[in-house]
Chain A
């Protein structure tokens, strides 16, 4: 069977009942979808299937022949972050990072679907995603800022070779 992941077509050898999560992580080495609960209850394996957020742990490989999958790796690049990735970065919306991939993809789909900047609406859209650091306030801040047009451009944020990494901590003494 064939699977297109982040625009690249792959021939898949995984067993037919292997969850997409295992196909991505173990056969293709794409590790942004995290294996959390593996029963649909944590959201950390969320990927986009034809642009819609889905739990990769709940989709059997055999049902996905010809599907178009987007993982976090396909959303932006370190040089050119997507708007929602920029928002997560600017608003400090990641802590340990385990839920971040799923959160970012679900939030990306929320924005693509014209989601509003209202917190209640964002909470509903992200209700299936558990953050074990409990960093929900900043995650919702980031999505709200992106949905409200406060984050408009992607930014380059990784240092280039020879550059010093820009480390700015708000509130830290100069």
Chain B
């Protein structure tokens, strides 16, 4: 088959832990370890020869799967399939439903999407915007032991970390707006997620920009005026310029998406 021979290095280690504790132990400080969660991003990289891992940690049997609700707090295991998030409250539910197609969503994982590296032709990791809007906490293992970070802190320093779960307080209201995809296999060029917390704080985040998803503090400061917030949002973003959309186009559509999402949030009770 063209372009797809599996070139295996001598001495490849494949680790298949059976529990969270075993996974943490096998991961260690993460040096030289390639994590294979759902495989939707990593396995093609290996098949096409872009990635030649020496030590592969497969998490399929490590548990880390499932959604737990305790009071107002929701905790999502890192290996929970994206399809299982579809019924969760806005913005996370609709954001998850906008990821790829049903079969890919059943295989791709919440933790994998959170950690998704920038693609060659498009940004990845739509769910990052939802987790940012929800002020989610990321529990991870690695050098120095277990750590719980805000999503911002985690995205800024995620190398050498193994995500265990992601948790957040249920928002009072949420909204989601995105540029529609030409096909289910495209990433959204821009995904905006907003949420109002129990204390009335509004958080606004966008995925599809250059690098990981970011919060939009200028928009948050004007959250009561959806139109003004949209115009202000562009100051907080370095726009991606890729095969999906030009930076020019993204810069002109972000205000529209922020306005739509915040208008919807204002109408939500």
Contacts and interface: CB of A to CB of B under 8 A. Distances in A.
Bind each other: yes
B17 to A, nearest CB: 12
Contacts, number: 95
The binding surface of chain B is classed by DSSP as: loop
Contacts of A60: 36, 39, 43, 46, 58
B21 interface: no
A6 B216 CA distance: 52
A58 B39 contact: yes
B41 to A, nearest CB: 9
B153 interface: no
B133 to A, nearest CB: 25
A13 B148 CA distance: 41
Interface in B28-59: 36, 38-40, 43-44, 46-48, 53, 56, 58
Contact-residue bracket for chain B: 20 to 34
A18 to B, nearest CB: 5
B186 to A, nearest CB: 9
A41 B44 CA distance: 10
B4 A127 contact: no
Interface residues of A, number: 31
Of listed B4, B46, B47, B107, residue having the most chain A CB within 10 A = B47
B48 A17 contact: no
Contacts of B101: 43, 127-128
Given A39-B44, A59-B39, A17 B1 contact: no
Interface stretch (A47-55, A91-99, A135-143): A47-55
Interface string B134-172: 000000000000000000000000000000000000000
Contacts of A53: 102-103
